[in-house]
């Protein structure tokens, strides 16, 4: 029998919920469209494709001709459609009922729009936890793809990973295809003839060997250098024709191979994702230690043997690392519970759509891609959460005040709300607002990011890394460049969590003290707190109230003995325009500048923040004139294009001397 190898080539197309239309259009122009049109020319080249539901909706609406080609390739048996959660959630991070619902929603959509139900599923970020098996099986999925690294962690050798294995959980079974890391790093970065030769080297005489590839389609046109390489210089066409000219390589759909082959046996995989995620999920300094250990193993030429045992973190570590991610996640879980607790007759499709959008994975984590660091992706999650919460409140109203430890951090939060606004006050001593929602504008004005150390920050000022040699193009995983000039000040870390109404007392010597508040739990309509002024016996009282579309915070000193010092109140306002041209400070008709510019006012009492992206205005007022200072709050993160500075919020500092606090002052935020 002649040697052969089945090429199981799959591509995954995804754009985050809430991404800019210009980004989607550019992605289609440089990748999705050219890829589909070229593949259409070669009916004998069978492959699989997964397109996330939100992106597929957009493509069907805006690019019907290319979607028509895809539909035709499905009908003629060239293309296999893969399923997943509709909004691309990490299945392991959402409730079981939502896992099944998300998968079924996309499967039905694929059947309706493209004519086929999927048998296989793409696992978001290849995050594997055995608990997802029952939901996958119950949703009609027969097999999924995960990294070969997952299998190596069980002790499997790469030579064994040329077909599928079977696992089970709670009486449910699913088959697992191991994605080849060697192919992931070759396609499309190595010359086409070298990739074809590598595939031919995998052939075996039993006719059962498979070369398994499933990875981001964005590597075929969107990643740096790839459009020119893949299309203009002809890499993809050369690769397709090289495969079809080979007597050894047999391009197949996963479904066809799965039908003809038999499982190689049972396997139980550990909780894992792709190998790069091991580093991304770890905080500093653990990430440094892990990276140094990997470098040491590579230097000693042991890494290919030891990498299954030199393991870092797991995907869920992001919920530990970033309080902002954890907060969104726990809010999503709570609202899922509220939705599913409703009688079936009160549940609506609009509610379910909002819930699923809130489960989209992208804003919950961070690695080579911006993810959590991108304000517009977090905003999309909050828009969905706020929209869902508003719909639930209309159906089953909540109490005006609730005390919960929703994020499981050991500190309660106080929720105060009406049908226009919601403020969530942290009961950790800060009495700061960690979420401030407008139901009309569907926006959380406290959605900012606290700057923390990242492993890659130590590479900012290092010499650029270039591991590629010879022909081909560089893999972005191996590059470290910078989109912006990064200074040491840009890498400064925040000493406390960024929020609204973070209060400091500045004493006569200029020393700053974070105020520590205790709540007065009298249960009245107002929420009252009191803090002891540092070094004094005087109390500073802080009172919150929401009334229609206004939030009012009052500060009052209880005795006149403290006259030397001043109160500083910090507000970190998430404005969707960030430092773009649609955001501006205004006093009356006078424009003072954009959100990305510093602003100082010695006698502040009133200011408007207009935001064209938001479609609304935030009016900030003080009952007593005070000093005003604002500046943009930036973070530094990495993306596939390099290091970049991203504006997270407008930081506003308001100050009043102690004697002005004796009769009380009011700070009001009005949203219109």
Beta bridge partner(s), residue 211: 7
Q: Write the CA distances from 635 to 73, 400, 560, integer angstroms.
A: 44, 35, 41
C-alpha–C-alpha distance, residues 223 and 476, integer Å: 7
CATH architecture of 488-671: Distorted Sandwich (2.70)
C-alpha–C-alpha distance, residues 401 and 485, integer Å: 46
Closest CA relative to residue 192, chosen from 241, 253, 245, 246: 241
C-alpha–C-alpha distance, residues 395 and 398, integer Å: 10
pLDDT band at 46 (very low <50, low <70, confident <90, very high): very high
Write phi, then psi, for 581 (nearest 5 degrees).
-75, -15
Express each pLDDT in 272-308 by its tens digit.
999 889 889 999 999 999 999 999 999 999 999 999 9
What are the extents of the domains in the chain? 5-267, 488-671
C-alpha–C-alpha distance, residues 447 and 440, integer Å: 16
pLDDT of 522 higher than 80: no
pLDDT band at 459 (very low <50, low <70, confident <90, very high): confident
Write phi, then psi, for 318 (nearest 5 degrees).
-60, -30
In contact, 449 and 632? CB cutoff 8 Å: no
Active site residues: 125, 216
Q: Write the CA distances from 353 to 86, 270, 388, 419, 669, integer angstroms.
A: 10, 32, 9, 21, 31
In contact, 163 and 261? CB cutoff 8 Å: yes
The better pLDDT of the pair 237, 640 is held by 237
C-alpha–C-alpha distance, residues 44 and 159, integer Å: 28
* Domain range 5-267, its CATH number among 3.40.50.150, 3.20.110.20, 3.40.50.720, 3.40.640.10: 3.20.110.20
C-alpha–C-alpha distance, residues 378 and 283, integer Å: 21
Q: What letter would DSSP give residue 18?
A: T
Residue 588, token pair as written in the block: 């009356």
Q: Is 374 exposed, middle or buried (0-12, 13-18, 19+ CB in 10 A)?
A: buried
Residue 374, token pair as written in the block: 């991108």
C-alpha–C-alpha distance, residues 450 and 623, integer Å: 29
In contact, 621 and 551? CB cutoff 8 Å: no
Q: Write the CA distances from 459 to 97, 293, 310, 462, integer angstroms.
A: 42, 17, 22, 5
Task: Look at 17-31, 213-227, 354-368, 637-651 and tell me which has the smallest mean pLDDT.
Answer: 637-651
C-alpha–C-alpha distance, residues 114 and 68, integer Å: 9
pLDDT band at 490 (very low <50, low <70, confident <90, very high): confident
Total residue count of the chain as it appears in this document: 672
In contact, 224 and 476? CB cutoff 8 Å: yes
Closest CA relative to residue 211, chosen from 193, 224, 195, 194: 195
pLDDT at site 278: 87
Residues sharing a CB contact under 8 Å with residue 197, sequence separation 6 or more, in sequence order: none
Helix ranges (H only) for 153-223 are 181-186, 192-201
H helix count then E strand count, the chain: 19, 27
What is the model's pTM?
Answer: 0.94
pLDDT of 477 higher than 60: no
C-alpha–C-alpha distance, residues 113 and 349, integer Å: 19
Tell me how far apart the terminal alpha carbons of the chain are, to the nearest angstrom. Answer: 75
pLDDT band at 481 (very low <50, low <70, confident <90, very high): low
Express each pLDDT in 322-347 by its tens digit.
999 999 999 999 999 999 999 999 99
Q: Once rounded to an integer, what is the mean pLDDT over residues 663-670?
A: 96
Segment of 478-492, 528-542, 557-571 carrying the highest mean pLDDT: 528-542
C-alpha–C-alpha distance, residues 555 and 134, integer Å: 54
> Can you state the angle between helices 64-75 and 96-114, rounded to 10 degrees?
90
C-alpha–C-alpha distance, residues 495 and 518, integer Å: 21
pLDDT band at 468 (very low <50, low <70, confident <90, very high): low
pLDDT of 524 higher than 70: no
C-alpha–C-alpha distance, residues 570 and 576, integer Å: 19
In contact, 211 and 202? CB cutoff 8 Å: yes
In contact, 213 and 180? CB cutoff 8 Å: yes
In contact, 312 and 272? CB cutoff 8 Å: no
pLDDT at site 563: 75
Residue 511, token pair as written in the block: 């020393």
Closest CA relative to residue 375, chosen from 595, 629, 568, 94: 595
In contact, 351 and 387? CB cutoff 8 Å: no
Residues sharing a CB contact under 8 Å with residue 249, sequence separation 6 or more, in sequence order: 4, 5, 7, 196, 199, 200, 203, 211, 243
């Amino acid at each position: 029998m002649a040697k052969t190898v089945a090429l199981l080539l799959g591509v995954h197309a995804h754009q985050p919920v809430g991404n800019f239309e210009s980004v989607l259009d550019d992605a289609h122009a440089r990748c999705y469209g050219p890829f589909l049109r070229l593949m259409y020319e070669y009916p004998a080249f069978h492959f699989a494709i997964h397109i996330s539901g939100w992106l597929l909706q957009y493509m069907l609406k805006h690019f019907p001709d290319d979607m028509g080609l895809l539909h035709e390739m499905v009908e003629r048996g060239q293309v296999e459609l893969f399923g997943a959660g509709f909004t691309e959630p990490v299945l392991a991070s959402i409730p079981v009922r939502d896992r099944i619902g998300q998968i079924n929603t996309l499967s039905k959509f694929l059947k309706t729009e493209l004519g086929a139900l999927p048998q296989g599923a793409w696992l978001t970020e290849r995050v594997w936890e055995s608990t997802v098996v029952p939901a996958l099986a119950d949703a009609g999925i027969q097999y999924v793809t995960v990294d070969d690294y997952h299998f190596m962690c069980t002790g499997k050798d790469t030579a064994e990973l040329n077909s599928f294995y079977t696992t089970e959980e709670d009486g449910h079974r699913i088959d697992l295809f191991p994605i080849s890391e060697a192919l992931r790093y070759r396609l499309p970065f190595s010359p086409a003839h070298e990739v074809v030769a590598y595939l031919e080297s995998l052939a075996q005489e039993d006719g059962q060997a498979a070369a398994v590839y499933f990875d981001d389609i964005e590597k075929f046109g969107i990643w740096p250098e790839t459009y020119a390489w893949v299309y203009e210089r002809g890499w993809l066409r050369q690769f397709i024709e090289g495969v079809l000219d080979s007597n050894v390589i047999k391009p197949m759909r996963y479904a066809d191979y799965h039908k003809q082959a038999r499982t190689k046996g049972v396997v139980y995989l550990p909780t894992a994702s792709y190998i790069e995620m091991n580093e991304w999920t770890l905080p500093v300094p653990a990430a440094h230690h892990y990276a140094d250990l990997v470098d040491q193993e590579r230097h000693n030429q042991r890494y290919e043997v030891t990498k299954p045992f030199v393991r870092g973190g797991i995907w869920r570590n992001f919920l530990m690392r970033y309080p902002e991610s954890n907060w969104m996640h726990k809010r999503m879980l709570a609202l899922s519970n509220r939705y599913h607790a409703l009688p079936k007759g009160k549940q609506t499709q609009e509610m379910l759509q909002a819930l699923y959008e809130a489960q989209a994975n992208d804003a919950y984590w961070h690695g080579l891609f911006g993810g959590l660091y991108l304000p517009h992706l977090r905003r999309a999650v909050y828009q969905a959460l706020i929209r869902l919460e508003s719909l639930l409140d209309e159906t089953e109203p909540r109490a005006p005040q609730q005390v919960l430890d929703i994020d499981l951090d050991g500190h309660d939060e106080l929720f105060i709300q009406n049908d226009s606004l919601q403020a969530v006050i942290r009961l950790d001593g800060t009495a700061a607002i960690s979420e401030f929602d407008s139901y009309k504008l569907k926006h959380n004005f406290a959605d900012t990011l606290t700057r923390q150390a990242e492993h890659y920050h130590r590479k900012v000022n290092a010499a650029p890394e270039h591991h590629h040699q010879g022909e081909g193009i560089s893999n972005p995983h191996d590059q470290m460049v910078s989109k912006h000039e990064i200074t040491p000040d840009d890498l400064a870390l925040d000493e406390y969590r960024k929020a609204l109404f973070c209060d400091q007392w500045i004493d006569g010597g200029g020393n700053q003290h974070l105020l520590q508040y205790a709540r007065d739990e009298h249960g009245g309509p107002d929420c009252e707190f009191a803090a002891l002024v540092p070094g004094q016996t005087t109390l500073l009282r802080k009172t919150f109230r929401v009334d229609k579309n206004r939030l009012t915070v009052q500060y009052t000193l209880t005795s006149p003995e403290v006259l030397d010092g001043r109160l500083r109140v910090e507000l970190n306002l998430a404005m969707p325009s960030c430092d773009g041209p649609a955001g501006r400070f205004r006093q009356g008709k006078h424009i003072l500048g954009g959100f990305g510019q510093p602003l100082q006012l010695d006698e502040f009492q009133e200011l408007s923040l207009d935001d064209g992206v938001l479609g609304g205005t935030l009016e900030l007022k003080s009952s007593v004139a005070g000093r005003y200072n604002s500046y943009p709050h930036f973070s530094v993160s990495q993306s596939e294009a390099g290091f970049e500075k991203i504006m997270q919020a407008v930081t506003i500092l308001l100050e009043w001397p102690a004697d002005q606090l004796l009769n009380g002052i009011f700070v009001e935020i009005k949203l219109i």
